[in-house]
A = this chain, B = another copy of it.
Amino acid sequence: MRITLIGSGNVATHLGAALKNAGHQIVQVYSRNAHHAALLAYHIKTEAISDLANINPNTDLFIISVKDDVIEEIASLLSIHQKPVVHTSGATPLAALQKHIGKSGVFYPLQTFSKTREVDFKTVPMCIEATDQDLLDTLKQLASTISNGVYAVDSEQRRILHLAAVFACNFPNYLYHASQQLLAQHQLDFNLLRPLISETANKVQEHLPAAVQTGPAIRNDEKSMVAHVALLNGNDELTAIYELLSQAIIKMGKGQPTVE
């Protein structure tokens, strides 16, 4: 396909590289910031533009990968080209593209992207949605050229995914940070915990988390929990987190539902 990338952040960069590698033609890369546009365009061997007036209309699809609050405006500005547009945002409904004259859709890669890390796009779940079946089929086909996991997900479901990703990614990363800080305070190397963090994530690749829960709370081991809180030594924040999550795990251990 002939694809135009609007945006040059982490998602645009990783997605652009994956599409290029899959044999698609990236027609242009647009970014307000000419330097950012040039960097990504160089990386994926295409033309950089920093003015929407210079858009080449000879494209099959605009992929809008910009900050959530400017998606709507950009989609609207692209209407004159009468080509399909998709956005890549987990938190933005399809309806945000309704001012765009023409087909619109969503092309959301559910992964955490960093500038400094390569991602194997084949493993990244692609969540797609579209205003009509033709575009949905096109997006399904396109997604399957870069990923082994393609899912039709509507806007309501995608909101839930975006929320669930906070629980599955952002909050665990904060807890890794808390553990690293506890270690540092006692001159202990974070390498001591890295294999445990890996194995904990690996376990749930095959099992449901509830089936592999370990630790004092799931055993209702009061003695260990009291000792741990004492060891937190008046750190109010970590004590509150310890108690709240331990109570939740105890409740889970009793078979009480987490979500009803």
Contacts and interface: CB of A to CB of B under 8 A. Distances in A.
Contacts of A117: 203, 206
A176 B209 CA distance: 6
Interface string A204-226: 11101110111111100000100
A209 B169 contact: no
A173 interface: yes
A196 B165 contact: yes
Q: How large is the interface on A (under 10, 10 to 19, 20 to 34, 35 or more residues)?
A: 35 or more
A195 interface: yes
A204 B208 contact: no
Contact of A202 (B165, B188, B198): B198
Contacts of A242: 166-167
Contacts of A81: none
Interface string A150-173: 010100110111111111111111
Name, among A170, A177, A210, the residue most crowded by chain B CB atoms within 10 Å (CB to CB). A177
A258 B237 CA distance: 8
Q: What does DSSP make chain A's interface, helix, strand, loop or mixed?
A: helix
B200 A182 contact: no
A91 B227 contact: yes
A54 interface: no
A132 interface: no
Contacts of A212: 114, 173
Nearest to A235: B259
A57 interface: no
Given A167-B182, A210-B177, A259-B185, A201 B203 contact: no
Contact of A194 (B112, B195, B205, B251): B205
Nearest to A172: B172
Interface string A70-106: 0000000000000000000001000000000000000
A238 interface: yes
A210 B224 CA distance: 28
A211 to B, nearest CB: 9
A191 interface: yes
For the complex of A and B, the 6 pairs showing the least CB-CB separation, nearest first, are: A170-B215, A201-B201, A172-B172, A177-B209, A168-B179, A176-B209
Given A167-B182, A174-B209, A235-B259, 14 more contacts: A91-B227, A111-B196, A153-B188, A159-B231, A161-B188, A161-B192, A161-B193, A167-B175, A168-B179, A169-B197, A171-B245, A172-B176, A176-B209, A177-B210
